[in-house]
Amino acid sequence: VLGKCLGSQGENTAMDNVATERRAEESHRQDSANLLIFIMLLTLTILTIWLFKHRRFRFLHETGLAMIYGLLVGVILRFGVHVPRNMNNVTMNCSVNASPATLLVNVSGRFYEYTLKGEVSTVKGHDVQDDEMLRKVTFDPEVFFNILLPPIIFHAGYSLKRRHFFRNLGSILAYAFMGTVISSFVIGLVMYGCVTLMKAVGQLGGDFFFTDCLFFGAIVSATDPVTVLAIFNELKVDVDLYALMFGESVLNDAVAIVLSSSIGAYQPAGDNSHTFDATAMIKSFGVFLGVFSGSLALGVATGVMTALISFCFTKLRDFPLLETALFFLMSWSTFLLAEACEMTGVVAVLFCGMTQAHYTFNNLSPDSQDRTKQLFELLNFLAENFIFSYMGLTLFSFQSHVFNPLFIIGAFIAVFLGRAANIYPLSFLLNLGRKNKIGSNFQHVMMFAGLRGAMTFALSIRDTATYARQMMFSTTLLIVFFTVWVCGGGTTPIYCGCTVMVLQKSHAHFYVFEQVTVSDGTQHRNTKHESAWPFRIWYNFDNTYLKPLLTHSGPPLTATLPACCGPLARCLTSTQAYENEGHQHNDDSDELVLNDGNATMYGDVTVSTDASGTLTTNHKHLSASTMGITSEEALDQELAFGEHELVIRGTRLVLSVLYQDPTEYNAILYYEPFSVNCNIH
């Protein structure tokens, strides 16, 4: 493809160079100013979040707040600012057949390299040179996938409550895989009906195929771990519900992203490219499986490699900076590796995060453990608020919105139906096999808390070239706004209503007295959670082979391997593992599987209530409060890094029984400085 054009020869003078330089400077100045707008937006959001937290105003979540600020700035940019038309753009009408990724322009003998930024829409008779300002604040959609989503998803994986996650893995996988597929197809079908209706009424302004409907179903089926994590973390909900919801919404995203790309890959042979074709469908399914398992394998592989590096280079612990940098770089390289191998980086990063938390985390020095947690917490916070404020802004700055009332109403109904078809039938089926049933209250909460967020947005903004995609994008934006503002803000009262009601009825005593049994400083937890046999097998395998091989916290291999492997085991076991042998059962991994009435389970947590209702918690780990953190943060941290959830649950439930008024209960949860005394055993 080589287009040659005729034209007059320009002169190559120094003045040209100066002019070019000045234009580049001007463009840079403009970029800085635009980025500054976002930074100021984030700063404002942070101050307002703080104000909300401080004033105990909890009806709007921080992500909702970020969106509102984004909206305001969008309105100002759209209607308030009139930038003089920038004449630096040159329009070339050329004979190129396609738009290449890079373009070399021969300007009078000197070659300049240009990179493709995207197509500029010319819808509605807009002059292409109009709205320079709005086009400038529009980011390349790939920024979301390559810069903003990875830290969010990694953080989700890294902070997954492993114990409860694995205990509920069966249900989580069912919801995430089957549920997302069901939801996608239900939404796809409803939308197809809607689109057919629109075509009949004459409301459709362009093509909208069945594959587009399915694609729409896939992107709006991704529930957001960001908002779920944030809301549930603040609510301090029941850990099992939390693990189910969070695990589902995290894996959900991974499934939705791969599903949508497989639907995009569905291309039947022949002329009519939008009919059913079994071969193409099987191929799409193959793509789905291949990409998902490939990304999973890559993520786990780099996670294991990091664990091995930090396991072998033991003395790296003496240099927390190097350790943290290594951890960060290895996690980032997972993403790049996956993208370079044509896998899905975001999915790889998720599983990498989970592997890092399960193995590498145990090998890090305490200092690095704190550093990595705080680093990813910060990155997650910034990226999350950036995405949500950009979402608000884009409602006004995006120039090709297609708002179709019929489509929007249809989409809201479809999303509702899709979520219902995911949660209720699956819960019913799962309850047949679970000893610890998923109550109908829990199901309602799951139904209602299925917010759509960053992933849905990123998937829908990725491609807005066609009419169908533009309509999808506009509708998706509205769905996200609705779910975050209405459902996100509403989950608090709904949840409180449900659970407190439940507590005041039959379950209250069950929870409080069964789970928080005080007996001479040692607690025997008699939780009734079963563990399915595949996970018992996995747990045993993990504890016997993987943990000792990859971390310093397991039992030595010499103790777990059969005698014939003695020499091999000895050379693979670190001296630290031997030291751990005596007290290795202190490790949190042992809490992974709780069998019924398991007397061998080791309780490392003591909870006692004295007469005044003050709670005393004793556990073996160096408590957060000795590091100068407030008790509320200590609770937050424990909730976030899943070591003593049971205690906290006990605490919360005892409190909720003591103060049965839901409003007061809420207030106590967040603001009553109840003392948690932590001592080292």
Please list every residue from 323 through 352 that binds its own copies, using CB under 8 A.
324-326, 328-330, 332-333, 336-337, 339-340, 342, 345
Which two structure tokens, joined as six digits, stand for 142?
A: 């790939």
73 binds its own copies (CB under 8 A): no
The pair of structure tokens assigned to 296 is 């999973």
Residue 374 engages its own copies in binding (rule: CB under 8 A): yes
Q: Could you tell me the maximum CA-CA distance found in the chain, to the nearest angstrom?
A: 95
CB of 485 to its own copies, least distance (A): 22
Q: Decide if residue 501 touches its own copies (CB under 8 A).
A: no
Give the residue with the Cβ less far from its own copies, 211 or 441: 211
Residue 39 lies near its own copies (rule: CB under 8 A): yes
Nearer to its own copies, 172 or 213 (CB): 213
**Candidates 168-176, 281-289, 374-382, 412-420; binding stretch for its own copies (CB under 8 A):** 374-382
128 is a contact residue toward its own copies (CB under 8 A): yes
- Residue 643 CB, nearest approach to its own copies (Å): 17
Q: Which of residues 412-431 bind its own copies (CB under 8 A)?
A: none
Cβ-based burial of 674 (10 A; exposed 0-12, middle 13-18, buried ≥19): middle
- Strand 676-677, strand 615-619: pairing: parallel
At its nearest, how many Å lie between its own copies and the CB of residue 27?
4
Nearest to 161 by CA among 679, 646, 665, 574: 646
CB 65 → its own copies: shortest distance, Å? 13
How many C-beta atoms lie closer than 10 Å to residue 136's C-beta? 17
- Whole-number Å distance between alpha carbons of 396 and 81: 13
Which residue lies nearer to its own copies by CB, 207 or 596? 207
Tell me how crowded residue 442 is: count the other CB atoms within 10 A of its CB: 22
> 573 and 566 in contact (C-beta within 8 Å)?
no
Residue with Cβ nearer its own copies (23 or 570): 23
272 contributes a contact to its own copies by CB under 8 A: no
449-478 binders of its own copies (CB under 8 A): 465
Candidate residues 56, 76, 106, 433; the one interacting with its own copies per rule CB under 8 A: 106
Check binding of 103 to its own copies (CB under 8 A): yes
Q: Is 619 exposed, middle or buried (0-12, 13-18, 19+ CB in 10 A)?
A: buried
The tokens describing 252, both together, are: 């959900």
The yes or no reply on residue 81 touching its own copies (CB under 8 A) is no
10 binds its own copies (CB under 8 A): yes
Nearest C-alpha neighbor of 376 from the set 396, 361, 394: 361
User: Closest distance between its own copies and the C-beta of residue 341, in Å?
Assistant: 8
Asked if 130 is part of the footprint of its own copies (rule: CB under 8 A), the reply reads no
State yes or no: residue 11 binds its own copies (CB under 8 A). Answer: yes
| Residue 206 binds its own copies, judged by CB under 8 A | no
Q: Which two tokens stand for residue 103?
A: 């373009």
3-state secondary structure 589-653: HHHCCCCCCCCCCCCCEEEEECCCCCEEEEECCCCHHHHCCCHHHHHHHHHHCCCCHHHHHHHHH
* Minimum separation from the CB atom of position 84 to its own copies (A): 16
User: What distance in Å separates the CA atoms of residue 148 and residue 476, rounded to the nearest whole number?
Assistant: 19
Our finding on whether 2 is near its own copies (CB under 8 A) is yes
- Of residues 222 through 251, those in contact with its own copies by CB under 8 A are none
CB 421, min distance to its own copies, A: 32
Q: What angle do CA 552, 554, 557 make, to 5 degrees?
A: 95
Of 135 and 161, which has the nearer Cβ to its own copies? 135
Q: Which is nearer to its own copies, 165 or 327 (CB)?
A: 327
Contact 615, 531 (CB under 8 A): no
Is residue 680 within the footprint of its own copies (CB under 8 A)?
Answer: no
* Window 376 to 395, contacts with its own copies (CB under 8 A): 377-378, 381-382
Q: Are strands 676-677 and 102-107 parallel, antiparallel or unpaired?
A: unpaired
127 binds its own copies (CB under 8 A): no
Amino acid identity at 316: L
- Binding segment for its own copies (CB under 8 A), chosen from 163-171, 220-228, 363-371, 424-432, is 363-371
Q: Could you tell me the smallest distance in angstroms from the CB atom of residue 126 to its own copies?
A: 10
Question: Taking a C-beta distance cutoff of 8 angstroms, is the pair 415, 196 a contact?
Answer: no
Instruction: Output the 3-class SS for 132-199.
Output: HHHHHCCCCCHHHHHHHHHHHHHHHHHCCCHHHHHHCHHHHHHHHHHHHHHHHHHHHHHHHHHHHHHH
Q: Which of 130, 142, 579, 596 binds its own copies (CB under 8 A)?
A: 142
Site membership for its own copies, residue 564 (CB under 8 A): no
Residue among 32, 279, 600, 612 that touches its own copies (CB under 8 A):
32
The 10 Å Cβ neighbour count of residue 22 is: 11
Token duo for residue 434: 């679970």
335, two tokens: 């993403």
Nearer to its own copies, 326 or 479 (CB): 326
Q: In angstroms, give the least distance from the CB of 42 to its own copies.
A: 5
Binding-site string for its own copies from residue 301 to residue 320, where x marks contact by CB under 8 A and - marks none: --------x---x-xx-xxx
Residue of 81, 101, 278, 599 that binds its own copies (CB under 8 A):
101
Whose Cβ is closer to its own copies: residue 54's or residue 82's? 54
Mention every residue, 6+ apart, whose C-beta is less than 8 A from residue 201: 406
Residues in region 617-676 near its own copies by CB under 8 A: 622, 627-630, 632-633
